[in-house]
Amino acid sequence: MQKNKIQQLFEDYFSLYNPSLSKGVALLTMFLEPGLKRGELDLLFNLLANEIAPYLQENSSTEEKAEIFRLVLFDKLKFKIEPLTDEKQLSLKQVIRTRKSTPMFMGVLYLLFAGNFNIPSFLVLSKGQVFVCFKREYNFPNVYINISNNGSFTTENSYISAGANDVRVNPHILTIKQIIRHLLSNLIYLYTKQNADDKKLQVQTFLEKCL
């Protein structure tokens, strides 16, 4: 895809009041995978969603849904959380195929699947750690999931890390635009380490145009 075209797509995306997470992730993947064919990403995502679907019941509790996500993604499919060393870890296509990603992108994957199964959710960032929150109805406490610890629960009374604030007291809830900007910033960090100046400049332009 031509540089000017992908830049315009990002500008159009960030101009939206409430853009979808799936579209933002697709744009990022299109940038990283210029030869991506139409419909290929949807097919890969749907195949992975079909691994989760049989275990979800209409009457499953929020905790049960979170545990099903963990069991399928981490235990059955062997997804791994790793430090950012390769741009493939930020491409939805490659993450689904290699089953390796960063904590932030794995949190994004959780949100994409939660949206697919109509489970209200959001990302929380605290002390550099990424947490997924599955929202519960009727004012019950939300369910927090520690992505860096393979999707384990962070209970209502526990702390995110030694000395950190309880997620109930001081959460940094990320908007969809903030999530995509965070992923673009990850790319800038990676390209800086790799001395990939052309790619770094292009991603910086995405961010500058979208602030």
Q: pLDDT digit string (tens) for 194-207?
A: 999 999 999 998 88
Cα(206)–Cα(103) distance, integer angstroms: 23
Tokens of 139: 């004012």
Q: pLDDT digit string (tens) for 106-159?
A: 999 999 999 999 999 999 888 788 899 998 777 677 888 889 888 887 654 443
Q: Place 87 in a pLDDT band, splitting at 50, 70 and 90.
A: very high
Count helices and strands in the chain by DSSP H and E runs: 8, 7
**Stated pTM of the model:** 0.89
User: How do the domains of the chain map onto residue ranges?
Assistant: 3-210
